[in-house]
Structure 1
Amino acid sequence: MSWKTRHRSFYYEGAPEPDDLDLKPAETALLVIDVQNTYVERPDRSKLAPAEQAAYDKWTPFHERMQGQVIPNTRRLLDLFRSRKIECLFARIACQTADGRDRSLSQKMPGWNNLLLPKNEHASQLVPALSPQGDEITVTKTTDSALTGTNLRLILHNLGIKNVVCAGIFTDQCVSSTVRSLADESFNVVVVEDCCAAGTDALHEQELAIINMIYCHVMNTDELVAMMKLT
């Protein structure tokens, strides 16, 4: 099953297959969303209390996906895009203040989403394997959407970008929010499914079905590379 028929929700079960996308290099950008140190670094499990070990274990599939698929595949795309001089951009969650008083409400909510990531601290930095090179642009946001919380829309417009290829985390949160914002601004959006992850594979798959064919087209790395003739 190809990207043209995968990840279809109830709404699009009988829809015709889309044509191949015309992703001209000069009009296309890769956007890597929130692959930051805080999400991939882990404590020593043996030093955790039993309840903390249980939580640690629940997150193990996510970390395995990040190290085994998301980071390597995203690095592959970065290398290919850079070799063809296609724009590569990055977004990260980081607040301007030490106490996070400038954060949006969604990043002050109790629980896991209560994110305090001051902009200069190690935790808020992009992971080394996916760091910007040269004059590649990074936007800093305190919102889920990389478009809503930054001047990214203006940047993409000034660069002449019409198509945005999205990778990153979390599929059901910042990736989805960014994709929806981009679609609402009439960008053509591709989500690279094996360059993204959610807290669980079930959440990842569910969100792909929700956003596919209305806000974006979902495909994997090999399909994107073949369609853009980047090999």
Structure 2
Amino acid sequence: MSELPNPIRVLIHGASGRMGQALLRLAGERDDLVVTAAVARAQPAQRVIDGVAHFAASELTGVPAFDVAIDFSLPQGFDGILALCEERGAALVSGTTGLEAVQREALQAASTRIPLLWAANFSLGVAVLSELVERAAAALPGWDCDIVESHHVHKQDAPSGTALALGASAEQGGAHPRYASLRAGDIVGEHFVQFTTLGERIELNHRATNRDIFARGALHAAARLAARPPGHYRLRDLLA
């Protein structure tokens, strides 16, 4: 593993969004990270805010040096940040959703050259839950597996990306998950995984009550990914 300067230099891509704003705010609480640039689609009203240089997406190639980029943008902006990370030899942490198949292929190809992580959910608790689901599925062949996810009324996709990721973990362990989705009130996110057979049942739950957990998880991943060798990592690979 190569040595990186301390603190690790971070670029926030998608800085004007809700996650981008949370990342900028919470990065300031850490001594091991420093944000060197923030990039948004629109031209910034101010070039420097709280000591952080701000850039428009059209100026992406002109950003200062960074060790890892954290990307929560749109599919239209994903190609640019992936290409920049490859060009600079920097790591990439991305939670951008809605990627096309060709973009996912590019992500996989880039993992031979840089360390990267793409995840549907950056909760560290969900990362642990994913591992528990896979282990339970492998240990309980033939048991029914049901995944129930609940979110706020404005969430459009169902099942959620996190539910599908948990289902993939269950399938990795040999289970065949079924899904149910609930949309109610302002629920941040709840995921319930149940394994059932005659006479007994195992229940695994995760409840998110604050959206900051996703930004904190992305910062955690960035701090641990920056000096890793090239590869396509999972959040659960970076927990320790």
TM tier, shorter chain?
Answer: 0.3 to 0.5
Q: Which has the higher contact order (CA 8 A, sep 6+)?
A: 1
Structure whose CA Rg is larger:
2
Q: Counting strand residues as a fraction of each chain, which structure ranks higher?
A: 2
Relative to total residues, which structure has the larger helix share, 1 or 2?
A: 1
Alignment TM-score, normalising by the size of structure 1: 0.41
